[in-house]
Amino acid sequence: MRLDNKVAIVTGGSSGIGKETVFKFLSEGASVVAADINTETLDQLDSEIAEKFSNKKFTSFKCDVSNEEEIKNLVDHTVEKYKQLNIVFNNAGVGGAFGPITHIDQDDWNKSLEILLNSVFFGIKHASKIMINQGSGGSIINTASIAGMAAGSGPHVYSAAKAGVINLTQTTALELGEYDIRVNSIAPGVISTPLLGTVLTDDRDTNQALLDQPLKAKGMPEDIANTALFLACDESKFITGINVCVDGGLTLDRSGLMKQASVEYDKLEMGPVSGINMGSTGEETKINPIED
């Protein structure tokens, strides 16, 4: 029970990495608020929690993480219900705008940044206010990506946003350390999630051939949830400002994930495309053919 008497928020909490982290945090004794914009998957999560866990303190909360007021409401709701806040996992995300830099729509670019980067800023801002006032420290964890560490592992805006998440993690860790608030990020590699399925095939043999990942194991949401648990609990109490890469060694070779993404989009028989990938938010993904 490494999170006994702790209260945690997990954004993007109704699918993939977020969902697995909710299960992990609950099993370790935390009270958890799972936030997501997708009400359908939130309802499914409510049902699963009721089946898997008894006498657990859990709440689902509809939240658009790109809206600062909704993030503030999420934090306020959590504190009102559970009287404290100790852990925040800023995990929600989308694939975002994609395509050649010459064809990316400005609105798609801006929307991607709002979800992938601004949301992390909002989460850190409002969580840290509560944690500072509590005077008991806390742990803030942000989902970055190997795409934010080097070129070739994601679309332009996704990569830029995740690089921003890594840097924001470091700058806020420096500022908030005096309050015993730790801020760290996790950079997943190829993890089998609903978002992965919108971009890459989940065929491990194909991925292995194209990505040259040293470890043969398939990256699973639980691998990230286990890392989030470590960063959330007191076992990591002397760790802050780091970016933990959980990728099976993929970045050792700096192979480009986008090579396979290109293969997958070619299967659409549309030729070159641009658009915005909205992942598992319930909002429609937009794919536009590029005309000469």
By the 8 A CB rule, do 35 and 63 touch? yes
Edge to edge, what strands does the sheet with 286-289 contain? 96-98, 273-277, 286-289
Sign of CA dihedral 50, 28, 215, 182: positive
Phi (first) and psi of residue 273, to 5 degrees: -135, 160
Q: Of 108, 116, 38, 94, whose CA–CA distance to 288 is shortest?
A: 108
DSSP-derived letter for residue 284 is: P
In the residue annotation, 158 being an active-site residue is answered as yes
Closest CA to 161 of 142, 143, 148: 148
Q: What is the CA radius of gyration of the chain?
A: 18
The alpha carbon dihedral of 24, 27, 28, 30 has a sign of: positive
Number of H helices, E strands in the chain: 10, 10
| Best CA proximity match to 136, nearest among 94, 97, 85, 93 | 85
Q: Name the active-site residue from 82, 158, 179, 265.
A: 158
Q: Are 56 and 62 in contact (CB under 8 A)?
A: no
Residue 58, strand partner residues? 32
Q: How many residues would you count in the chain?
A: 292
Q: Just list the catalytic residues.
A: 158
